[in-house]
Amino acid sequence: MDRDLTDYFLYALAVVLVFFILGTGAAAYAGMIDTEQVVAGEQLNQERERVKALLDRQDVAKQMQILGVAPGDARGRIDAMTDREVRLLASRLEMLPAAGASFSNNEIIIIVILLVIALAIAL
């Protein structure tokens, strides 16, 4: 009689384990990643880094301190910007004339600072 009870217990345990294993099996979902998505993500990272690199310039940092904006705060604001805002700011930087043909460096710095502040306020 003890043997029958042990066999029944082992059988029931095996059934429970089989259902547990089948019920908890995780399915793997894979999909193709579009090249354009990868390129767009990389371009966004480059644009964000280009805007941050502008903050590393001594003249920009000096002007920001004059205006009362800490460089660390500006970096935080850039990190908090949406993808659309970063693209907008980067495209505006690209539209500026090279070598300050129309604007002086101070004017460019003020424009960038005002854009960062305006976008931060909009958040």
Number of structural domains in the chain = 1
Q: Give pLDDT tens digits for 15-55.
A: 887 777 766 665 666 677 788 877 788 888 888 888 888 88
pLDDT at residue 45, as a whole number: 87
| 55 in any annotated domain | yes
| 49 in any annotated domain | yes
- Domain limits for position 79: 32-122
DSSP state of 83: H
Query: Are 63 and 109 spatial neighbours (Cβ–Cβ below 8 Å)?
Result: yes
| 111 in any annotated domain | yes
| 18 in any annotated domain | no
| 14 in any annotated domain | no
| 116 in any annotated domain | yes
